Amino acid sequence: MIFKFLRRIIFDVAILACLVQGWWYAALIVAVIAAWNHKMYVELIIAGLIYDSLYGPVSMNNMTTHIGLTICVVLFILIGIMKKVIRMRE
Amino acid sequence: MMTYIQNHNDNRGRSYRKSGYIVFILIVIIIAFRIFMPNVTSGFFTAIARPFWRIEFSINNGQLRSNEQLLNDNQELLRKLEIRDVELKSTALLVDENEELKSLLGRASSTKNILAAVLQRPPIAVYDELVIDIGADMGLSDGDIVYAAHNVPIGKIVDISAHTSKVLLFSSPGQSYNVFIGKSNIAATAIGRGGGQYSVELPRSADVSQGDHVSIPSMRGNLYGIVGSIIADPSATFETVLFSAPINIYQLKWVYVEKK
């Protein structure tokens, strides 16, 4: 239990470090792996929010400024469905 | 005695539904924040990331080197400065004459430029933007033009935080600007393709060739780009001219902002 919690924290820190560096591709890969291995990994959605907040032109406020959040929400739902389909137990 | 097999499916289904509701509410809250208070999330996360960007910038610019190394670099820079000083004095005369002529014609420039460090720049970024280390603290405003070396305009300020700002590059996909292209200064509209690249649609008869300059219609006549290639389909009446900024935006360390 504690090991899983620590592992989740490590994934979170790694994602945050990648986002601060601007390595969205690395952050996405790590987030997807973490979402696959953890239950209800909402940090994936928050990662998309952080990326859009740091690098997106928020003042323009149209669909093109929410690419990160949109992709992460879609991935979160897809991974949840896939996990349910193959009955992956945590 | 009856044996009852416990059915876990109902419990699991309830758990999934509950989790789904929580996630849905979280997404709605996030979207509401992004729509009604977009600068709150941007300012918050930028304030967290800024110290890390500053440290990285300091390391990349050698500000954490030893004293001896800094002294040696200082001497070398002073020597180069003396050489540049001599060159500058000769060009200063030309600049003064230029300003005098402009003022006589009623076209004197009076711009206020502020130097800014580039904290984050795209490579392979989803958004074609730079993050610079000045913001509301230096009196920037939306729409201020940002220049790279040699007065090359590269973008405009779009989001201003307390100590940082985002620069939307002119080459961002979908952005369009009026330019003059070629030796004949043909008026055209340049469309951004991302990463410092632009495209322009011109009639096939247009007198444009590789290496031609592209400028923006302003008094300063800044160099905006250099024609890289021309895509001409013999069956089409128009040709596509591709040009790029004369500087490498992926290697920018310093820019300056022209305040309105």
Percent of chain B that is helix, strand, coil (3-state, to 5): 40, 30, 30
Dist CA B39 CA A71 (whole Å): 21
Put simply, the answer to whether B125 touches A69 (Cβ < 8 Å) is: no
Contact with chain A for residue B40, Cβ under 8 A = no
Tell me whether residue A27 is in a domain.
Answer: yes
How many Å apart are CA B126 and CA B173, to the nearest integer? 10
- Residue A56: domain span: 2-85
- What ipTM describes this predicted complex? 0.79
Tell me the mean pLDDT in the region B231-243. Answer: 86
Q: Pick from B124, B140, B120, B135: which is nearest to B52 by CA?
A: B120
- Phi first, then psi, for residue B224 (nearest 5°) are -100, -35
Q: Is residue A90 part of a domain?
A: no
Burial of B28 (0-12, 13-18, 19+ CB in 10 A): exposed
List the one residue out of B221, B143, B152 whose CA is nearest residue B180.
B221
User: Which tokens hold the place of B232?
Assistant: 């001409």
Cβ count near B235 (within 10 Å): 4
Co-location of B200 and B232 in the same domain: yes
Contact residues, chain B, for A44 at CB < 8 Å: none
Report yes or no: B38 at the A interface, CB cutoff 8 Å: yes
Task: Compare CB distances from A57 to B22, B49, B127 and report the shortest one's residue.
Answer: B127
Q: What is the pTM of this model?
A: 0.70
B254-259 vs B145-148, strand pairing mode: antiparallel
Cα dihedral across residues B137, B141, B142, B145: positive or negative: negative
| CA end-to-end span of chain A | 11
- Contact indicator for B186, B208 with CB cutoff of 8 Å: yes
SS3 at position A31: helix
The domain total for chain B is: 3
How many contacts (CB atoms, under 8 Å) link A and B? 84
**Tens digits of per-residue pLDDT, B103-120?**
555 555 556 788 898 988
Q: What is the residue-level pLDDT of chain A in tens, covering all 90 positions?
A: 788 889 999 999 999 999 988 888 899 999 999 999 888 899 999 999 898 888 887 666 666 678 888 899 999 989 988 888 886 554
* Structural domains in chain A (count): 1
Please check whether residue B73 lies inside any domain of the structure: yes
Q: Å from A3 to nearest chain B CA?
A: 22
Q: Is residue B209 one of the residues assigned to a domain?
A: yes
Domain residues for the domain of B223 are 176-244
